[in-house]
Structure 1
Amino acid sequence: MPRGQKSKLRAREKRRQARRETQNLGGAQATAAQIEESPSCPSSLPRGTPPSSPAAGTRQEPQGAPATSSRAPASGESFQRDPLIKKVGMLIEFLLEKYTMEEPIIKADLLKLVNKRYKRKFPEILRRVAECVQLVFGLALKEVKPGGDSYALVSKLHVSDDGRQSSGGRFRKNGLLMLVLGVIFLHGDRASEEEIWEFLNGLGVYVGRRHIIFGEPRKLITEDLVQEKYLVYRQVRDSNLPCYELLWGRRAHAETSKMKVLEFMAKVTGTVPSALPDLYEEALKDEEERFLPPLVRSEAASSLCV
């Protein structure tokens, strides 16, 4: 079967699966809506914190990426309106602090953070916390004893024969990179620095605060990942005040896809990609375009840039 037909069949099957997932998710979303609270994340940059200056030579246009004027699709906002994400973020911060101090994680302490209002949702919150710390931080949340009341975070990084963890730095970068790429996609293929930090704050990653897994996160995002061509960091044109935005870089376009990033963000936030139909359709279109012959793909990109 020709390659193009295979990609269309895959896209058609994904749409059928999406309809099934959306129907299954409907009941869970209705329950969550009943306990909705204020937005999960505080304002992004603390007052008095100046935007960091981009590294030399990093104010560049994204290479190989078509220009776009879209901004903040409404469907993407549902990630940050999730009524449980604030509790997930609180527990993640608590777990990482205990991990740093090498202290036991007691279930009763986690329940206190969740408070009585959300006690009924504790299993769901803890499931999402476990998923998030594994995907983003490379840590597995395990019960110390089956059915017990205490937990431990265990590194999932590969340990070599000499006792050293291999590829740890790369894994740490990947977790944060996928989050940033996801926020950029959710906000219409470009996101302001404030929008990036607004989302990351909800997972306990803050400007100017060294992170146990990521180190200094602003440097990692605006310098290291920019120099490696995974991100583009540039000043917003025609803005009255100096502010910056981030876009996907050349290597991000080459090494991942919108569908992979959307699936990652859906797992982190406890939903399914098809719950965001506009973004899901865009990701499917991106998947199909990847199977086009190089000449056709180049001509299509050029037409979008005109």
Structure 2
Amino acid sequence: MPRGQKSKLRAREKRRQARSEAQGLQGAQATAAEEEGPSTSSSPLCGGAKSQDEERPSTSQAPPTTNRSPRSPLDQKAILLVQFMLRKYNMRESITKADMLKYVIKKYKNHFSEILRRASDLMVLAFGIDVKEIDPIRQCYALVSKLNPRGDVRLTGEEIMPKTGLLMTVLCVIFMKGNCATEEEVWEVLNVMEIYAGRMHVMYGDPKKLLTQDLVQEKYLEYRQVADSDPPRYEFLWGPRAHSETSKMKILEFLAKIHNTVPSAFPSWYEEAMRDEEERARARLAALFRTSASVLGSALYRVNSSNSSRR
């Protein structure tokens, strides 16, 4: 066969393989989107970070949109990487850069940092989990829950739940709305994620029950009637467990990560979060002093008792 014809056949075969791979990626992306939730490129909180005084109509019962913009190959790889990390975690296997490159990133290795960043954003949004490098030499990563007061690197299997990402979103809305958000304001944001009251969701089941009953019973949220509202309207606040397991600064970091920025980019919320951190520090210090005083008092009592018995 002439050399020129062979070159044309090879080029045609490469184009065919490229089309096949792109179609495969699109199929995988569609499946992952169903399982992992929305992309950060259309984050519901991007439009939610607006003035508290803006008047907006309720859209809690609006129909879902069908106009989805196609994701780039890097977004598709990020979704596949999320699935890969969760699978590795569930199998109790190490999550390493080498395995990411070999099994997921492949020919996009020059874009590893960007793909990992997008996958980390997805992990935060869908599950409320940070991806952290724990061994720079071996380049190993771990999954760390944002609702984790102990800061443990290792999670138990039960803690990786889709509801954590949804809860983080709701806590963020409550914080942005002055620490108390109406039910309409919460559903307005969730509608952007295609989560609707009274409509079953593939990840969250019955979202209204999850927010108004399950998470209330677990003390992550408080759900109460707005004072003097007729007909009755309802609002959400942070529950006691949310106050103990996370903080305004962590929630602001969550918002900043979605916007690909830093917490200080939101000055008023940042100041409030800093005040909250200072109050928490003072409370921890006071508790430490109380504990130290109690231990010292017990020690002195034992010393005095021992001296008395020798007389």
What TM-score, normalized to structure 1? Answer: 0.47
Bigger Rg, structure 1 or 2: 2
Larger relative contact order (Cα-Cα within 8 Å, sequence gap ≥ 6): 1
Identify the structure with the greater helix proportion: 2
